[in-house]
Each structure stands twice: as structure tokens, then as C-alpha cells.
Amino acid sequence: MKEKDEKPAESHSKSWLERLGEALAGGGPEDREDLRGILREAQVDGIIDAETLSMLEGVLEVVDMQARDVMVPRGQMVVLEQDWDIERVLKEIVDSGHSRLPLIGEDRDEVLGIILVKDLLAWYGRGGGEFNAREFLRPAKFIPESKRLNSLLKEFRASRQHMAIVVDEYGGVAGLVTIEDLLEQIVGEIDDEHDEDENADDIRQIGDNEFVVKALTPLEDFNERFGASFDEDEADTVGGLVMMHIDRLPKRGEVIEIDRFRFRVLRADNRRVHLLGLSLLEAPGTREVVVE
């Protein structure tokens, strides 16, 4: 019996990177914007999926970004003070949920170094003893506000450091940036067990006249909760309201007062706002934007 001709099967399916390379083979991009257009066409054609497109666009954006664009502003830095006792230090660590924190001297411009929580745990496991925060110091990495993120990411990987202190042109501390802040520019927001729970209420009270509000909270719900009268035709969500008044995508740490409400951006990336702090004011605000 004569065997039928059979077409050899491919040993494996082509990866999206191989297929993208074939798509680019017909003619390379002339500039970065042209490359973005090719990538978006590749997503439409099914060569890459939407998540891959988002990450690739994030990589392109990181090339043009500086430390000042992603840093946690000075006023929002969680720090430890050199004269705190161990109880105060542990409370700050538990409340913040961070794995490493700067230790400061007289003020935030005097960063003495970085304390890793794992070092404190090791000390506690050995029986503890008299506590001196300076004994746990790791060297702090200082970078200018203008530091390019792609260069900083390389340095983080080479030095195995995960945090850098950002200084301004006068040598003062402007903020801090972590490797997580950089990666979030590429892969999007990275949630952990200390971030706001997706299933938590859209509006959560945390103190007298103090609230945490999800940016996607419908403006209709916000108006009803606080007796406000914001135009629901101009914005659908609270985040949209804030962006409308700032007239751009706000950065983490920015503050804006709208009527009798003060909003602080708690979480945001280069794509959207995620979480807002809310303070109720006694009198209408001036709608001024402040970066601390």
C-alpha cells in the first residue's frame, strides 16, 4: 500500500517574538512612534496580545522617563528616625508593610542609610538586646532627579539594591524610588498584600474627615455619600474628576483642592490613577495643585 505524502510537522509553534520579527522584516520602523504603530498593528493582527503590547509600550516609555517621574515625593516617604526605640520602629514597619526603609537623622535631608526588615528579624531571632538603629544600616544609593530609568534599572540589577534616594540640584532629598516603581512602569501596577484590596469598599473612612477612595468610584456614588453636586456629565468617576481639574494625568503625591474636598493621589502609574486620599475641608478649596 502506497503511503500518502505527509507534510512534516513543525517541531514547535513560533513564539510571538519570532512572529513579530517576521512582521518587522518587511521594513523596519523609522522612529519610535513608527515602532509603536507597528506594535499596535501587530496586536490587532493577533501576533501579540494586549498585555504584551502594554509591556512593550511601557519599555519604550521608560527610556524617556527620569527618576523624578516615578519617585515617591519627599512628603510621602515613610522613614525611620535614628532616636526611635525598637517598639516605635516595629510599629512603623508593620503599619507601612515595607521591607526596607530609610533611616534619617535631624530631618529628611539627612538620610543615614537603609534598614532592611530582614536584618531586624535576624537580630530579634538571635535574642535581640539593646537596640541601636545605626547598627543595622545598609548604604543608601543617591541619584539625581534627572537619572534615566533604564540606566537606574541596570544599576539596581548590578548592585542588587532595590531603593535609591532622589536628590535635587541643591543636594536636598526630593523623594525615593524603588525597583518596584520602575517595574510598574513596564508591567503596570504590582499589588501586594499591603495594597488596597480590590474587594474593599470604594470609599473607606480611616479617621475623622479622612477617607480612602478608589479612583474608579462612580461620581454619582461620591455625590450621594458626601452630599456633593459635581456634574456627572463631565466625569464618570472620582479619578476622572481629579484629572479634569488638573488637566493631565496626576502623579503620586500630588494634592488638589476642589470645593470642600482635598484629594491626594496615593497610587498612580503612567496610565491611570488608582487610589486617592480624601480630606473634608471646612471651607471650599482653591483648586490649587500642590506637589510635596
Residue 64 lies in a domain: no
Least confident piece of the model among 51-55, 191-195, 276-280: 191-195
Mean local confidence (pLDDT), 232-245 = 87
**180 and 261 part of one domain:** no
Q: What percent of the chain has pLDDT over 90?
A: 32
**225 and 126 part of one domain:** no
**73 and 183 part of one domain:** yes
Per-residue model confidence (pLDDT) at position 112: 96
Per-residue model confidence (pLDDT) at position 19: 58
Q: Which residues 6+ apart lie within 8 Å of 141 measured at CB? A: 155, 159, 161, 163, 164, 165
Residue 261 lies in a domain: yes
pTM of the model: 0.57
Per-residue model confidence (pLDDT) at position 291: 46
Q: Which of 187, 214, 239 is the last residue of a domain?
A: 187
Least confident piece of the model among 137-141, 250-254, 262-266: 250-254
Residue 10 lies in a domain: no
> What's the domain count of the chain?
2
Residue 125 lies in a domain: yes
pLDDT at residue 96 tops 90: no
**252 and 178 part of one domain:** no
CATH of the domain at 141: 3.10.580.10
- Residue of 274 and 221 predicted with greater confidence: 221
**93 and 151 part of one domain:** yes
**90 and 172 part of one domain:** yes
Radius of gyration of the chain (CA): 24
Residue 229 lies in a domain: yes
Expressed as residue numbers, the domain containing 230 is 203-291
Contact 200, 211 (CB under 8 A): no
**99 and 178 part of one domain:** yes
Q: Which of 131, 156, 187 is the last residue of a domain?
A: 187
Helix/strand/coil percent split, the chain, to 5: 35, 25, 40
Residue 233 lies in a domain: yes
Residue 250 lies in a domain: yes
CATH of the domain at 207: 3.30.465.10
Contact 100, 162 (CB under 8 A): yes
Q: Which of 152, 187, 222 is the last residue of a domain?
A: 187
Q: Which residues 6+ apart lie within 8 Å of 178 measured at CB? A: 72, 162, 163, 164
**161 and 257 part of one domain:** no
Residue type for 63, please?
Answer: V
**166 and 78 part of one domain:** yes
Per-residue model confidence (pLDDT) at position 101: 94
Mean local confidence (pLDDT), 78-99 = 87
pLDDT band at 176 (very low <50, low <70, confident <90, very high): very high
